[in-house]
Structure 1
């Protein structure tokens, strides 16, 4: 489960970074600005929703990959406590962590995801074989990298959250290291994996916009990434992704920001 030169999954599993509400001085985080709380609500929705990735992954051949499943066991534990911590910050500010209402299209997509997608995904995944794992690692890494940038901007915008946000960024960067290593290895070894990854990347959307009205998300993201210099780190993620085998020219972050700007 560990690589001699790369990401050590055994060491990761032995040392989870479970940021918990008890680790924060919640009293000092009261009275956060409403716009900051809106961003935190969105982040809570996203972090909690990422746990659904296990449902989608574990019905595919990836469930037979011991290195990946060992990583995801600890990853899901860390994700759970991260979502709980964000909920605690919101509660300290009188806000209840809850998902926004689904749009009509979002409700249809949710029904599809919860009822049909696991079954069809299992069938399709088993037909495609282990190459599907490369695409899953690629988009998981993209989600993680984008969220790390959001937390960085949040730290800059709200000094009281800076220490907590930096801890979360460190957590995300560790996750990102695993996903990047796995994606590179799998894409370099298979033309079919590269093809599946290109399709997955072309369909990628900003985290947390699959079910809800993306308009409010666009407003929040536009606020914290308002200046061109603020967006520079985000756009660099496209260059990093394009360096992966078979993904030259891919610009999913720029495309997602463009869609949000049109909402």
Structure 2
């Protein structure tokens, strides 16, 4: 029976409330993907003064870290190839975010490569050996097939894992960019790094909210994610030219010899611990120890 005494607009208001409640149930509901896409950051080439790097060249350590970061940012396509053959691509908000995210990552990579070139140290596109390029080529072609087969069995819980990958990668690269900023003040590089960190802060916001919400909603997703991130190489793409590159990257980022008291290490691991079901993995501490071992081996 219709209540004729109820005020007009009650039904639409109830519908609006229901829609808002439904939206709040979505993972990372507080992040506006639409606004993010509208404000995507592209090329920074016009901001890069090559003469400033000629007058004040970067140190060899900073160049090495920027080169490693370029390789890591370039690994975006490796990540996307794995994601787009799984149930993750069916989530419209995640897919819309990743399209803009990939665009911004492309231009971050371009910024780093332009800085390297302006510093007289262009990115060496031939660093990988022929065998390593072949191995990586085969892996890049066939890995998505295996991931698709596994993902179809795991279902939507795989999305939590993908969002956690993005979270951990960004936590580590944030620390790397801050290391660049703190180690070697430079009028042009400082501004570029600040802009990159601002861009990546939005990436981290989305990935962390998505990972947290999805992990909290599914104990199964927690188990899947924990098993897969425990022994993964971090950050994604850091081993593009072999395991020594990962160790070298870690040594450049985490300078403290006391791994367990390094503020960057503690901060990253605390953020990972805050993700439902992922505490106690000590991924950053393990990465830092790997870097320290690599440094000791190089100095022998």
Settle same-fold status: TM greater than 0.5. Answer: yes
CA distance in 2, matches of 1:190, 1:225: 33
Question: Are 1:148 and 2:174 matched, yes or no?
Answer: yes
Match of 1:121 among 112, 127, 147: 147
Change over 3 Å in CA distance of 1:89–1:120 after alignment to 2: same
Higher alpha-carbon deviation: 115-124 or 53-62: 115-124
Q: Distance in 1 between matches of 2:211 and 2:274?
A: 11
SS in 1 for 2:262: helix
Residue 10, structure 1, aligned to residue 34, structure 2: yes
Q: TM-score, normalised by structure 1?
A: 0.90
Aligned twin of 2:156: 130
Equivalent pairs, count: 261
Deviations 1:73-96 (A, max 9, x none): 100110111111111111112222
Give, in angstroms, the shift of residue 134 of structure 1.
0.1
How far has the Cα of 1:212 moved from its partner? 2.0
Question: Where do 5+ consecutive residues of structure 2 fail to align?
Answer: 1-19, 295-300
Assess if the C-alpha contact under 8 Å between 1:148 and 1:168 holds in 2. Answer: no
Shift, 1:135, TM fit: 0.6
Please tell me whether the aligned partners of residues 239 and 245 of structure 2 are also in contact (alpha carbons under 8 angstroms).
Answer: no
1:64 aligns to what?
Answer: 90
Alignment of 1:1-263 (within 5 A): 6-30=30-54, 31-99=57-125, 100-101=127-128, 110-160=136-186, 161-207=189-235, 208-227=237-256, 231-263=262-294
**How far, CA to CA, are the matches of 1:61 and 1:78 in structure 2?**
23
1:107–1:211 contact (8 Å) kept in structure 2: no
Q: Pick closer, same or farther for the CA change 1:256–1:108 going to 2, 3 Å.
A: farther
Distance, in Å, in 2 between the alignment partners of 1:194 and 1:16 is: 31
- 1:159 aligns to what SS in structure 2? coil
**How far, CA to CA, are the matches of 2:138 and 2:155 in structure 1?**
22
Could you tell me how far 1:222 is from its partner in structure 2?
2.2
**Residue 101 (structure 1) shift:** 1.6
Superposed structure 1 runs of 4+ greater than 4 Å apart: 2-5, 106-109
Q: Structure 2 CA distance, aligned partners of 1:184 and 1:96? A: 39
Where do 5+ consecutive residues of structure 1 fail to align?
Answer: none
RMSD over aligned CA atoms reads: 2.3
Contact 1:156/1:162 (8 A) holds in 2: no
